Structure formats: C-alpha cells, structure tokens
Amino acid sequence: MPEPLPGQLVRVPLGKANTPTSGIVLQVGDAALLGDLPPAKAKPILELTPARINPDLLALAQWLATYYVCPLGMVLQTMLPAAVKKQIGRKRILRYTPLPPSPTTAPAEAALTKPLRAALARLRALPESDFPAEPAALRRLAAISSPSVKRLHAAGLLTESADDTVSARAGAFGEEASTPPPDANAAPAPPAPRLTPTPDQARALASLVPALGSFSAHLLRGITGSGKTEVYLRLIEHLLAARPSATAIVLVPEIALTPQTSRRFLDRFGSGSVAVLHSGLTQAQRNAQWTACAKGQVRVVVGARSAVFAPVPTLGLVIVDEEHDSSYKQDQLPRYHARDVAVKRAHLANCPVLLGSATPSLESWANTRPHSPSTPRARYHLHELTTRAGNARLPEVRIVDLLDERRARAQQPGGWRDRHLHLLGPTLEKAIARTLADRGQVMLLLNRRGYANYISCPDPNCGWVMHCNHCDATVVYHKAAGVDRSGVPIPGGFVRCHHCLAELLLPTACPTCARRPNTFGLGTQRVEEELQRKFLPDFGITIGQTLLRLDADTMTTGADYFHALDRFAKGEVRILLGTQMIAKGLDFPNVALVGVINADTALSLPDFRAAERTFQLVCQVAGRAGRADRPGLVIVQTASPTAEPIVLAAAHDYTTFANNELACRAAVGLPPIGRMARIVCRDRDLDRATAHAADLAHALTEARDALPDPQSVRIRGPMPCPISRIDDHHRQAIELLSSSRGTLQGLLAGLRAQGLLLSDTHTAIDVDPIALL
C-alpha cells in the first residue's frame, strides 16, 4: 500500500472489534507522531480511498475549528460530503493488456487450452493503441469472453490496471437534478446575446482584472439590475484567459440558485466546464461533482454555501453574490459564515475574493472604510455600479401608511359594513388592477407563512392564547384541506409551530371558556385568498393557475420552485405572491408592480440587526420591478411610514442608511464595530440549563478579569433567550462583546483548552452570530 497523503480519506480499524471506520489523515511522519502511544498499539490502515482534502482546504479546516470554536472532526465532516465518504456511485474499471511472447510466458502458454491459446493470439494481433482495454472492448475486438479474460489474467498472460471512476456525472454540470426534463420537441434556447459593458461595469473591471493573481478583497455594490453578474462573468473570462488551469468558485444563496442563474454561467463557459452544486442532486451526482472538481476537470463552480469547500486544485478567484444573505450562515456545527470563509480561503490560495450585493452587509461595508487613524487603509476595495444596465430605470417607490389606508376604506361606500379583514389597502388594490389591465405582472411580498399567526379566545376577560406545547412561542394557523403527516384527514386546516414543527388540529373551542377561537394576524395564505376574492371576477385570478404562492409550504422541492418560476416567466401566472424567496436573484422584464404587504414584520424583532434586515428586504424586492423598458412601481405598506430603514429603502439610499446604522452600532460597541460571540446553554431541565449557564458565565468572568485589560471584554448574561424554550429545551444565553477579535478568540480558546467550553448538544457556541432569537 502506498504512503497516505495528508487530507486523504482512509478506512481504519477502530476499537476492540476493529470496526472499519472512515478517517482523514492529518499528518504523515515517523513513530514520533504517536507520542506516548506504544508503536505496537498502532493499527495498519485498511484502505486508501481516492478522495482527498487538498492542503489548502486542510489549512482552512484548522482555521475554522479554531475561529468558530468547533471540533476539527466536525469541520472535516462538513467539508467532505457523505456521498464522498461512502463513495456512492464509485466504480472500479479493470483494463487488460496482453504480454508479448517470451521465455517467461512460454510455460503458462503451454498449459492453456486450445481455445484460450487462440484467444490470446487474437489479442496479440491487435494494435498496441487498443490497450489497455476493458473486457467489453476485448469481447468486441477479439471475440473473447469475460471468463476467458479472467483465466488469461490468472495465468499471468494479461496485465491488469484499475481506474476508479464515479458514475452519474451526467447531470452534475448544470443539468439540474431537481428541474423537470425539457420538452423534447422544444427548440433549443438561443444563446444570450453578448452585452456591451456599461461605463460602471467597465470601470469596475478595469480595477478588478489587475488584481487577479494575488490576494485582495473587493466589494461590488451595484444597485438592483446594474449587471453585477456580467461583471462576474467577464472577470472569470479574464482569469481563464490568463490561467487556463485555474478555477473560479461562485457562491449564490440556495434560493437564488435557479436555472436562470446557472444558465448564464453554462452559456458563457460550456456545460463541460461548469459544476452547479445544489440541494437537488442525488448522492451519486454529488460524489461525481466533488470528484470532477478534485481532478481539476471544471473551470467554474457555482453553488450555495457549501460550495466554498469545493476541492479545486488551483483556485484563482472566489465570488460571493448577494453576500448580505443570511443563508450563508450555517445554524449548526460548525456555525461558519460562508462569506467570511470565502475570504479566508482566497487568502490561503493567494487569489482575490469579490463580494457583491445591492445592499451589502454592514460587516462588508465597514471593511471598505478605514478602521482607525492608525490603519488608514481599508481592508476591502470598493467598486460601485450606480445605474441599471440597458434602458431600465429604478422603480418609483411609494410608502403607504396602513392607518390611512384603513381610514380610506372605511370612507368608501358601504365601507363601515365591510366585515372582511383587508391586507391589501385601496392604493395597492388599484395599482394591481391597473397593472393587470395593462397585461403586466405583479409580485407581492409578505415574509410570513400561513393564514393567521395569532389564535386566541374572543372574550377579553378570558385571555387564552394558543401556544406551542413544546416552545415558548405562538403557533400559526394553516388553512389547508388535506392530510397530516400520518395520513389523517384535516378538514379545515391545522396549527403548526414554526420552530419545532409540531402540528395540531385547530381547536374548535377555547379550553378555558369553550368559546370558538378567533384567528388573527396575517400570512401568505390569507393574502392569497383575498387576491382571488377581489380579482377573480374582472381578471380571472385563480389560486394555482394565474396566482401562485411561493413559500416553504408550497415549494417543497427544487422542482416545485423552478416550475413555478418558469410559469411566471412564460406569462401563465399573472400574480406571484411569496415570502423572501421572491426577493432575490429573479429577473422578469414584465413585472411592472411590486407590492410589500407589510414591511414591519421584521422591524420590531428583539435583534440589533432588525433595521438592517428590513432595509435589505424592502430594497431587494423593490428591485424586481422595472427591469426592462417598462417603468416599475413599488408600493410599500407599513404602519411605520417614518421608520428610517423603510424611508431610505424607498429612496434607494443605501449609503445614508449604512453610515447612520454604523454610527448607532459604534455608539454601543455592536458588530461590525465590535466583535460578538454568543453561547446558548440548552437542557430539558430549566434548573440544569440555568446552572450550566451560570457556571460558564463565572468561568468567563474569571478568565476576562485575568486579561491585561479586563474592560476589553463585556459579558452579558446569563439570561433567557428571547424564545426561551424550543422543542422542550430551555435556553439560556451569554453574550460576549469586544473591540478585538483576537481578545475574544483567546478568551474562548482558553476555556476550551481547559475543557470548560465544549460544543455539544447542551452548549452552542456561535461566533459572529447573525440572529439573537
């Protein structure tokens, strides 16, 4: 067996039973690596597999384990997909070559039967270029059966060579496994026309192209529709022209990884050169893609968060599109942020990294500014696209006060007798009607699923509100006929907890006073019902036909999502209603109206990022309108019409918002000006969770007080989390804030080295958290 290489996946005997177990080689050396372990106790490796994490990724794994306070094994497990570890789809292909006649082979030939001698003669008569050959090829070329091949090999007259390959590579390069197959009778789509760069794009490329070849970090802030993707494509073209063996990794949010997105890369670089990594792949396809990347067979890798670990041998460029998107942060071990990992990976590979967004995260925006008088240079280079590509213009955005809308409806004829709950105000209603009459399309955003998010007793003296039995949170009513997960019919709908996913039938009576419960609040289902009621008579708007709802309840697979977008693109669907999944990466030229049903859903959350998220969501969804020559209109309904995030998003004024928000964060030392780590202690027993959190807080305080500057770290808590119980686990939080990343890392690393801070089922350590609920 050859010597293993660092990063190689191997099979080793584990435990007294010597159970074959997968492992990854971290280091290769002599017996000194064993330390105090007697050499006699070392066991031999059972098998070397072809899968290997390259040296850059191995160094990245060690950085992740340290930075995110996570066991190295968990990081490596994340980097190496299960399909690769299990070698799903792997095949060993055997090929054979006949030995020429010689005194050495003569005895074996003499012992052959007459048919085998004749078969060997036919093989030797073939040209050398036909070898080595698989048994099937030998059968075709020399009429020799597979058993005869095996006998000749056993006799030592054929040499054998083996090649490991992974099947199911077809479909791995852009053929979306979760996309319905194309119509066989349909004409192939013509390639997209080559676009001339806008002046903004040309300036950005003039600055970016010289950066290829060494590490540097760049932020591309481009308004919606400004052509950021075209900048990505042209920058990759420059890279491949200068270094044909290099590979670019392009990260996009999972929900934005649509056929529309991937097709642009496939059309530009060819399906054989592009690997598209997405959640709809089969295990064999995933292994095939990973293997193709590792062998350097692809030039561009396009994928979601985990594509940052693509094992390309020569990395030349990393691009993170929509870098502000929260889906880049993993919510389980290891709790890494793909944007930050992308920057580190580019640094290790000595290549540039480009982050792109219309609404950059404040972390990235702050890195384009000097951090202090002593460090006058910014960490990131800023490039801006301030105009839309082509003749498109930014849409007009109108902020509508929901209170004024209710007054206006009440003043309409018969308005005081109207008992319906109206989530669409008169202004938005009229705009939808005008757009439909002009044959335009409408996109409506409400970032809340279900029908009603508040179920309570109608008697104010009773006060009963329905909560989840397993979480300290209210449940959501889903109005849907059908069956539950056990196949039991659900006549009118059910209630679901969106935290632990527990489901119950909607109660028919208040458990306290037996009155019939009320269902209050808003959700995409309620809006869907209202749209059909109001626009079916005049425009034929029908649920499931000309009106589609895109949320996690209706889009259960990637195929559902892609099919819905395809129908909208063809014009079959007139109104597209959805949650935040419709706010990103969609480009439909006929969308003339975008409506935000309620812009306040995230504004009042107990999280210091609430304003930033609200601004980003409103600004991003507004960018779906007016993407072509047709002017666009955006109507934002809100109960907070003077709230700064909403006002500035309506004005498309990112710079003012970002600078104001950074000043607010700086005043109290919150990220990105300060650094944060959050520890959540979880236990089914409240007393145990509280005691564990108190012990950790005490240990952290002692370690902090031993620092040269104890004031450099603030410790908040322990305290109950805003959602203090999820899935029957009580949750206590400790938050650490510091102006120095190194100080915070040293504090956590010290406790981890003492065994006082462990990432396990009872303790979650989140470095640079993006959500505090």
| 196 Cβ contact partners less than 8 Å away, ≥ 6 residues apart | none
The percent helix, strand, coil of the chain (3-state, each to 5) is 35, 20, 40
> 632-684 pLDDT, tens per residue?
999 999 999 999 999 999 999 999 999 999 999 999 999 999 999 999 999 99
| 370 Cβ contact partners less than 8 Å away, ≥ 6 residues apart | 376, 377, 378
What 3 state SS string does 621-635 have? HHCCCCCCCCCCEEE
3-class SS of residue 731: strand
User: What CA–CA distance (Å, rounded) separates 644 from 629?
Assistant: 30
User: What type of residue sits at position 204?
Assistant: A
User: What CA–CA distance (Å, rounded) separates 566 from 361?
Assistant: 30
**Alpha helices (runs of H) in 483-557, residue ranges in sequence order:** 524-539
3-class SS of residue 96: strand
Least confident of 113-122, 176-185, 561-570, 693-702: 176-185
Pick the closest to residue 362 from 102, 642, 665, 759 (CA basis). 665
Least confident of 1-10, 28-37, 152-161: 28-37
User: What CA–CA distance (Å, rounded) separates 453 from 201?
Assistant: 45
**More confident: 262 or 468:** 468
User: What CA–CA distance (Å, rounded) separates 746 from 758?
Assistant: 15
Work out whether the CA dihedral 340, 342, 345, 351 comes out positive or negative. Answer: negative
> 271-284 pLDDT, tens per residue?
889 999 877 788 88
Average pLDDT, the chain: 88
Q: Whole-model pTM above 0.95?
A: no
Task: Kindly tell me if the per-residue pLDDT of 623 is higher than 60.
Answer: yes
Q: Residue 170 — pLDDT band, cuts 50, 70, 90?
A: very low
732 forms beta bridges with 681, 720
- Strand runs (DSSP E) across 438-590, as ranges? 441-445, 454-456, 476-478, 482-483, 489-490, 494-496, 503-505, 518-520, 547-550, 575-578
| 141 Cβ contact partners less than 8 Å away, ≥ 6 residues apart | 126, 130, 133
User: What type of residue sits at position 141?
Assistant: L
Written as six digits, the tokens of 600 are: 């306040």
CA 506 to chain centre: 34
Cα–Cα distances (Å) from 274 to 169, 242, 269, 299, 360, in that order, read 12, 18, 7, 6, 27
Pick the closest to residue 578 from 555, 557, 550, 554 (CA basis). 550
Average pLDDT of the segment spanning 60-82: 93
Written as six digits, the tokens of 678 are: 């959050």
3-class SS of residue 743: helix
Pick the closest to residue 406 from 424, 388, 431, 381 (CA basis). 424
Contact 201, 225 (CB under 8 A): no
> 268-324 pLDDT, tens per residue?
999 889 999 877 788 888 888 888 999 999 999 999 999 999 999 999 999 999 999
pLDDT score, position 419: 67
| 678 Cβ contact partners less than 8 Å away, ≥ 6 residues apart | 733, 734, 735, 736, 765, 766, 769, 772
Cis amide leading into 132 (omega within 30): yes
User: What CA–CA distance (Å, rounded) separates 605 from 722?
Assistant: 10
Written as six digits, the tokens of 620 are: 């991003």
Q: Residue 42 — pLDDT band, cuts 50, 70, 90?
A: confident
Task: Kindly tell me if the per-residue pLDDT of 176 is higher than 50.
Answer: no
| Biggest CA-to-CA distance, the chain | 109
Read off the DSSP letter of residue 452.
B
User: What CA–CA distance (Å, rounded) separates 600 from 235?
Assistant: 39
DSSP string, 286-311: HHHHHHHHHTT--SEEEESGGGGG--
Least confident of 238-252, 344-358, 491-505: 491-505
- Residues belonging to the chain: 773
Task: Kindly tell me if the per-residue pLDDT of 768 is higher than 90.
Answer: yes
**Alpha helices (runs of H) in 651-685, residue ranges in sequence order:** 654-668
Average pLDDT of the segment spanning 153-163: 88
Q: How many CA atoms lie within 13 A of 702 on its CB side?
A: 8
User: What CA–CA distance (Å, rounded) separates 45 from 12?
Assistant: 5
User: What type of residue sits at position 746?
Assistant: G
- The backbone torsions φ and ψ at residue 291, rounded to the nearest 5 degrees and listed phi first, read -65, -40
Task: Kindly tell me if the per-residue pLDDT of 174 is higher than 70.
Answer: no
Written as six digits, the tokens of 376 are: 């006058």
**More confident: 161 or 416:** 161
Written as six digits, the tokens of 221 are: 């802030």
User: What's the angle, vertex CA 630, arms to CA 624 and CA 634, rounded to 5?
Assistant: 40
Pick the closest to residue 500 from 717, 726, 196 (CA basis). 726
Pick the closest to residue 310 from 85, 91, 81 (CA basis). 81
- Which residue bears the tokens 């089922």? 761
Q: Residue 618 — pLDDT band, cuts 50, 70, 90?
A: very high
> 561-608 pLDDT, tens per residue?
888 988 999 999 999 999 988 887 778 889 999 999 999 988 888 899
User: What CA–CA distance (Å, rounded) separates 771 from 767?
Assistant: 11
